Amino acid sequence: MSAANQLAALVSNMYATGLLDDQFQQLQMLQNASTPDFVSEVVTLFCQDGERIIGELAKLLEKPNVDFDRVDAFVHQLKGSSASIGAQKVKNTCIQFRESCQQKSKDGCSVRSMAVPPASEQDGGVELHVGMMRASFKFQNILNKLLNWLLGSL
């Protein structure tokens, strides 16, 4: 399978699994001969900004008194950037996270582990959402490296 076909299959799978939505296609349409690395650059910036935001969220959630308004502001920012590039799963996770923040509940807010818990533990707490976002961004970073490799092989 050629690199172009591998890339097409990967992107198709990402749509099928809900990782991406139609906004990503709009982003791809902005790429042209004068900006051949546009999508890769935007995804890279998104991942870098996302990791920064997740780091800030982790710090805020580790404090004894969580400032839910600040947490919500960071999550709102991440939701906006996720929506603008078509990162549907990250956007949906942010929506769930914001709902948890608006309840201002301390339950599940101490970030003991940034890993996504098993399905039986997915109770909608803030800790779960931070873990899900971190996992999504790790996947996005891997995807970005793969996209760069595949595009370099074309």
Quick: pLDDT tens for 109-118: 433 322 333 3
pLDDT value at 83 more than 90: yes
End-to-end alpha carbon distance in the chain: 12
Distance CA 153, CA 33 (A): 17
CATH code of 55's domain? 1.20.120.160
pLDDT bucket at 3, cuts 50 / 70 / 90: low
DSSP notation for 67-123:
-HHHHHHHHHHHHHHHHHHTBHHHHHHHHHHHHHHHTT--TT-S-S--SPPPGGG--
20 bridge partner residues: 87
Given a cut of 90, is residue 73 above it in pLDDT?
Answer: yes
Residue at token pair 């818990």: 117
Total domains, the chain: 1
Question: Looking at residue 108, what is its pLDDT?
Answer: 40
pLDDT classification of 142: cutoffs 50, 70, 90 = low
Contact yes or no for 115/135 (Cβ under 8 A): yes
What tens digit of pLDDT does each residue of 36-65 get? 888 878 888 888 888 888 888 888 888 888
Residue 143's pLDDT is what? 60
Q: Domain containing 98: what range?
A: 3-29+36-153
Strand partners, 87: 20
Give the chain's mean pLDDT: 73
Report the distance separating Cα 82 and Cα 24, nearest Å: 10
